[in-house]
Amino acid sequence: MKKITIIFSVLIILTMVLTACGKTAGEKTVLNVWSFTNEIQTMAIAFEKTHPDVDVVYTMIPMTNGEYQTKLMATLGTDQVPDVIALEAAFVKQYVESDFLADLKSLNADVKKADVYPFVTEVGTFDGVLKGLSYQATPGALFYRRSLAKAYFGTDDPVEMQKILGDMDKYLAAAAVVKEKSAGDTFMVASNGDFMNLFYANRANPWIVDGTLTVDPMVNKLIETAKAFRDNGYEAKATQWQEGWFAGMNDSLVGADGKPKQIFSYFLPTWGLPYVLAPHAASADGTKTTAGDWAMITGPLPYQWGGTWLGVMKDSKNLKLAKEFIRFCTLDETNLTNWATGVYTNAYLKAIDPNTPEGQAQAAGDFVGSKVVVNKITAGFDNSELSKFLGGQNSYGAFALAAPSVNARLMQGSDDAIQRAFNDPLASYLDGNITLDVMWQTWKDAVHNEFPELKIP
């Protein structure tokens, strides 16, 4: 009797233990990844290859009207909260500064090993705690027209041009040259929005110091420069992302009076080249193209624009797995190399997951955040399509030159809102509708509206 009881008990305990820690062959751990683009899905699929016991459930919610952020907020505190979330540059700092993201210090060693560009981790760090990492780095650059450079400055060589346009004062001086030599038919830049980023990115003080709004001298310089550009006709008064801005990229910009105009330079970051400049280099009717007539330099000031970061929600039930996912996406040398060199074709992804959508793939050329990988693969882009677009210049290498000097140490979550509050008053001021003082006051009122607790001098 006793023997049977013992055997019975052992069997029961054994069964309990086995079922408790057992994942049967068909049961995978689920990792919930939320994003607002389809980009990361590629890495999610690649992750499943190296981690076959994980099922990554990828949810995409657009952020155009704030659906993504609203839904994220709504799930806090419920069991719907995702494990990994993607964060766009416009709101990444907000979340990094909040208490919702988990500490990623377990990845610090890998960060060092991958030699991540400082500004990438700076964005993802708050109060010394690392909470967000990115697979890409998005330093900005200046793109100029080779033919126009030769005509106005006698050279189109990037090294020479960097000397000529090495800081904002030189840039302003060059604008005068461009206008004079083209009899006003060529604008230095299409929109003043192009260079606003540069000033903001190179302040010496953050916007909020001890709960008080601080206006850095660079901001004053921005206003002066914008006014100079407008008054002297150095910019085409276009708005970024609107027709005029795009038209200038393929020489189909026509003034309201019917005269054709040209644009000398554009400020764009890494993704700007393949996604904005290259597609729009050909005119809409296909008759002309400016491809091959462009070159790039770091420009007057280093800056960064855009980018997607990844973070782990503190309430996630799969912290360890989530952090491993982030490590894979942002710090794993193999993954980053594959990502940047176009190994992740649709066929490759389909081999891992047959349900991969037709258009899902990652073309080569995305500038990754790891210096180790960048140095390794730069030479491979010497003859890429984009290099041909730049008249033979290796864009990857050029961005690699710009990346180290970008700094995001002063970035704060409120930056985007404070800076965007300038757009309208500044535009009215440049149009001559309001005075400078009224402009500052309008801006301060707008900031006060958004940040009622902020002390505004």
User: Which of the residues 190 through 229 are near another protein (CB under 8 A)?
Assistant: none
Q: Which one of the spans 144-152, 176-184, 233-241, 378-386 is the region binding another protein (CB under 8 A)?
A: 233-241
| Alpha carbons 367 and 340: distance in angstroms, whole number | 7
Q: How far from chain centre, in Å, is Cα 269?
A: 8
User: Can residue 358 be called a binding residue for another protein (CB under 8 A)?
Assistant: yes
User: Can residue 291 be called a binding residue for another protein (CB under 8 A)?
Assistant: no
Residues 54-73 that bind another protein (CB under 8 A): 59-67, 69-71, 73
Out of 106, 155, 182, 239, the residue judged to bind another protein by CB under 8 A:
239
| Alpha carbons 373 and 400: distance in angstroms, whole number | 11
Residue corresponding to tokens 């989530």: 322
User: Can residue 425 be called a binding residue for another protein (CB under 8 A)?
Assistant: yes
| Alpha carbons 298 and 399: distance in angstroms, whole number | 7
User: Can residue 353 be called a binding residue for another protein (CB under 8 A)?
Assistant: no
Question: Which positions ≥6 away from 137 have C-beta within 8 Å?
Answer: 117, 119, 120, 270, 304, 307, 367, 368, 369, 399, 403
Token pair, residue 79, equals 């069991």
CB of 417 to another protein, least distance (A): 5
Out of 271, 317, 345, 384, the residue judged to bind another protein by CB under 8 A:
271
CA dihedral over 331, 335, 341, 342, signed as positive or negative: negative
For residues 303 and 406, is the Cβ–Cβ distance under 8 A?
yes
Residues 294-323 that bind another protein (CB under 8 A): 306
For residues 234 and 228, is the Cβ–Cβ distance under 8 A?
yes
Out of 28, 54, 94, 214, the residue judged to bind another protein by CB under 8 A:
94
Which helix (H) or strand (E) element contains residue 340? helix 333-341
Out of 51, 55, 97, 228, the residue judged to bind another protein by CB under 8 A:
97
Out of 3, 257, 287, 383, the residue judged to bind another protein by CB under 8 A:
257
Residues 360-419 that bind another protein (CB under 8 A): 360, 413-414, 416-417
Pick the closest to residue 140 from 365, 369, 372, 301 (CA basis): 301
Out of 255, 342, 391, 404, the residue judged to bind another protein by CB under 8 A:
255
Out of 26, 211, 452, 457, the residue judged to bind another protein by CB under 8 A:
452
Nearer to another protein (CB atom), residue 61 or residue 410: 61
Q: Which residues pair with 213 in a beta bridge?
A: 208
Out of 28, 170, 237, 350, the residue judged to bind another protein by CB under 8 A:
237
User: Can residue 184 be called a binding residue for another protein (CB under 8 A)?
Assistant: no
User: Can residue 424 be called a binding residue for another protein (CB under 8 A)?
Assistant: yes
| Alpha carbons 308 and 385: distance in angstroms, whole number | 24
Residues 108-167 that bind another protein (CB under 8 A): none
User: Can residue 450 be called a binding residue for another protein (CB under 8 A)?
Assistant: yes
CB of 275 to another protein, least distance (A): 4
Give phi and psi for 54, each to the nearest 5.
Answer: -115, 135
Measured CA to CA in angstroms, residue 186 lies from 40, 189, 285, 296, 415 at distances of: 40, 9, 22, 18, 33
CB of 372 to another protein, least distance (A): 25
Out of 128, 211, 258, 354, the residue judged to bind another protein by CB under 8 A:
258
Residues 6-65 that bind another protein (CB under 8 A): 35-39, 59-65
CB of 276 to another protein, least distance (A): 8
| Alpha carbons 117 and 287: distance in angstroms, whole number | 41
User: Can residue 185 be called a binding residue for another protein (CB under 8 A)?
Assistant: no
Out of 99, 127, 210, 437, the residue judged to bind another protein by CB under 8 A:
99
Out of 42, 125, 202, 252, the residue judged to bind another protein by CB under 8 A:
252
| Alpha carbons 11 and 331: distance in angstroms, whole number | 45
Measured CA to CA in angstroms, residue 158 lies from 137, 154, 274, 292 at distances of: 22, 12, 19, 14
- CA Rg value for the chain: 26
Nearer to another protein (CB atom), residue 162 or residue 423: 423
User: Can residue 78 be called a binding residue for another protein (CB under 8 A)?
Assistant: yes
| Alpha carbons 368 and 372: distance in angstroms, whole number | 10
Token pair, residue 305, equals 């624009």
Nearer to another protein (CB atom), residue 34 or residue 264: 34
User: Can residue 457 be called a binding residue for another protein (CB under 8 A)?
Assistant: no
Out of 1, 23, 24, 77, the residue judged to bind another protein by CB under 8 A:
77
Nearer to another protein (CB atom), residue 153 or residue 348: 348
CA dihedral over 295, 162, 234, 426, signed as positive or negative: positive
Token pair, residue 409, equals 């140490």
Nearer to another protein (CB atom), residue 343 or residue 361: 361
